[in-house]
Amino acid sequence: MVDFLKVKNLNFKYALSNSQSLNNINFEVEQGEFVLVIGDSGSGKTTLLRQLKKELWPVGERNGDILFENENLKEISPIESARRIGMVFQNPDDQLVMDTVIQELAFSLENIGEDSDSIQKKIAEMVSFFGFQDILYTQVNQLSGGQKQLVNLAAVLILQPHLLLLDEPTAQLDPIATKEFINLLQRVHDELGVTIMINEHQLDELLPLSTRLLILEEGKVSFDGQVVEGLKKSIKDQKLAEFIPEVPRLFLNEQLLDENDNLPVTVVEGKKVLLNKEVHLNLNQRTFHSQISSPAIEIKHLDFQYSKQDPLILKDLSLSLNKGEWLSIVGRNGTGKSTLLKCLMKLEKKRRGSIKILKKKISKWKTSDFYQNVGYLSQNPENHFSYDRVYDEFFERARQLEREHPEQVSKKMLKMLKLEELQFKNPHDTSGGEKQLIALGIVLISEPQILVLDEPTKGLDPVRKRELGELLQNLENLGMTIIMTSHDMNFSATYATRCAMLFDGQIISEGNPYDFFASNFFYTTPINRMVRYQIPKALTWRDLSYED
């Protein structure tokens, strides 16, 4: 019998690190399984997946054995490893190397020496499977984030791998693109029989597909088994409970099930249980504190296009925020959300319209004063890094701003963001979620009055996401104005005081989270989808309580 994948006593420590990233890891995967790997930032999820792809082994001390299809992984040739084990990464742009979609699909086949007839045949099959006919000759830099990630997946699958590894592949995708990606991933598993191991923080769509759950804590496997059993175990642990998606968490928290009932993990399953049991739920709607009636951001009739020959990205867009408001802007990739924030930050030059910050036109601000009062977190946190240690990033930023006692400012920021253990680590060597928090810390050093955040929850595990939400909520309560873009409906519903949808370059709807999400059909939360006909304004499990 062939052992498909067996990991035995695997340990790994990064170079220059004092602690083990992986500690005595043991598990097996059978052919055809769909294994979901979860754990908080820094628990070793990405490191583990990279250990299964020898070309991506990070520098460090490694011992233990990884057997793949009865062969020691380190003895498999590079070409065979490329053929048999594929991997898709978090950032869609990191994996694309060619100019057009068809060139991207051909590239990996050419690298392993396939002849032209074989390449043409395999591209034809892949294009038909993915439905790429209309974008085959499109420049990859013109694709949306969701399309880019599908091209990455296709470029890996064209080699016909036996094992597919995915490291948070939907972290940068909007909800509809995420659904499309997961649906195609299900087809890859069900129709092609590819074995899948995926590391994700967004579990709503993945739980129904997964045959196994692997939980990592501090570099160790704390659970390896059936998905439902893992969820039931996790609800008893305060930290792990936050990884449970909204629908099953409602039922586990409110103890709505009898001992022999199946735990619902989808909206449809949850609806059926509520209907059959005639469960009566109450709404616990949060209140919003009164805002300061003084404008912080005023945008009027804003137009933007990259050149006069290009179509308008933003069209006659108007928007205003008062001091102390928190606005979350949602919408598909490519609708202009990031462009709007860049115009606000003077990183893109508007074609027409007016932008005022704190009642002053952005053109009238002195540059140093502007960037001290308006903090900006870009989509790529590494753009904010300049030094080799996290502590130095904070200290040097505080020193540049002539803050008193920069060492105390740095230590306070490390403590506030719970980054003390990373203070002497290179920020580039941290996890995706940790990079986000480090970049945010650099921004917050200036104590800005307005915070502009482009996808701030990207890569954050549920625990870090809650901590970020509570931190920003405290800052907002103290009068800070926050404007962010987000694909995370639950985060927006839980923390923002206003939400808006950007479509075709315009704000087409806005309101408080309860009104906004209750009026949406696709852009809403799983809980709202499940109970919207009984309790239209319920958005998260925290909004509901059970009345026996």
Answer for the pair 179, 185: CB distance below 8 angstroms, yes or no.
no
Average pLDDT, the chain: 92
pLDDT at 409: 95
pLDDT at 1: 59
Strand partners, 13: 61
Sheet holding 326-330, edge to edge: 374-377, 450-454, 481-485, 326-330, 498-503, 506-511
Answer for the pair 486, 457: CB distance below 8 angstroms, yes or no.
yes
pLDDT-derived band of residue 157, with 50, 70 and 90 as boundaries? Answer: very high
CA distance 38 to 372: 38
Whether residue 289 is predicted with pLDDT greater than 90 in this model: the reply is no
pLDDT at 429: 83
Whether residue 344 is predicted with pLDDT greater than 90 in this model: the reply is yes
pLDDT at 332: 86
Report pLDDT digits (tens) over 92-150.
888 999 999 999 999 989 988 889 999 999 999 999 999 999 999 999 998 888 899 99
pLDDT-derived band of residue 291, with 50, 70 and 90 as boundaries? Answer: low
Any idea which residue has 């084990």 for tokens? Answer: 85
Q: Which amino acid, residue 425?
A: K
Report pLDDT digits (tens) over 72-98.
999 999 899 999 999 999 888 889 999
Backbone φ, ψ for residue 453 (5° rounding):
-120, 125
Report pLDDT digits (tens) over 411-438.
999 999 999 989 998 999 888 788 999 9
Structure letter (DSSP) for residue 376: E
- Of residues 329, 345, 315, the one with CA closest to residue 448: 345
Three-class HEC string of 281-349: EEECCCCCCCCEEEEEEEEEEEEECCCCCCCCCEEEEEEEEEECCEEEEECCCCCCHHHHHHHHCCCCC
Answer for the pair 250, 231: CB distance below 8 angstroms, yes or no.
no
Report pLDDT digits (tens) over 314-328.
999 999 999 999 999
Whether residue 292 is predicted with pLDDT greater than 80 in this model: the reply is no
Report pLDDT digits (tens) over 484-498.
999 999 999 999 999
pLDDT at 470: 94
Whether residue 545 is predicted with pLDDT greater than 90 in this model: the reply is no
Answer for the pair 514, 537: CB distance below 8 angstroms, yes or no.
yes
Strand partners, 357: 297, 360
Average pLDDT over residues 65-78: 94
- Taken in order of first residue, the domains within the chain and their CATH numbers are 5-239 (3.40.50.300), 245-288+530-548 (no CATH), 292-511 (3.40.50.300)
Tell me the range of 66-70, 177-181, 239-243 where mean pLDDT is highest. Answer: 66-70
Instruction: Look at 83-87, 223-227, 332-336, 475-479 and tell me which has the smallest mean pLDDT.
Output: 332-336
Three-class HEC string of 234-263: HCCCHHHHCCCCHHHHHHHHCCCCCCCCCC
Q: Which amino acid, residue 128?
A: S
pLDDT at 484: 98
Answer for the pair 49, 34: CB distance below 8 angstroms, yes or no.
no
Please tell me the total number of residues recorded for the chain in this structure. Answer: 548
Report pLDDT digits (tens) over 512-532.
999 999 999 989 999 999 999
Q: Distances in Å between the alpha carbon of 288 and those of 250, 494, 520?
A: 23, 11, 21
Whether residue 548 is predicted with pLDDT greater than 70 in this model: the reply is no
- Of residues 273, 237, 276, the one with CA closest to residue 255: 273
What 3-state class would DSSP assign to 116? Answer: helix
pLDDT-derived band of residue 230, with 50, 70 and 90 as boundaries? Answer: very high
CA distance 256 to 281: 10
Whether residue 446 is predicted with pLDDT greater than 70 in this model: the reply is yes
Answer for the pair 337, 331: CB distance below 8 angstroms, yes or no.
yes
Give the pair of three-digit tokens for residue 471. Answer: 């931190």
Answer for the pair 44, 216: CB distance below 8 angstroms, yes or no.
yes
Q: Considering the entire predicted model, what is its pTM?
A: 0.88
pLDDT at 258: 81
Share of the chain above pLDDT 90, in %: 75
191, with CB counted inside 10 A (0-12, 13-18, 19+), is: exposed
Tell me the range of 170-174, 268-272, 274-278 where mean pLDDT is highest. Answer: 268-272
Q: Distances in Å between the alpha carbon of 427 and those of 382, 391, 394, 408, 415?
A: 8, 9, 11, 20, 16
Q: Distances in Å between the alpha carbon of 12 and those of 18, 61, 200, 256, 293?
A: 11, 6, 21, 42, 55
Strand partners, 375: 451
Q: Distances in Å between the alpha carbon of 240 and those of 36, 134, 234, 280?
A: 15, 43, 5, 27
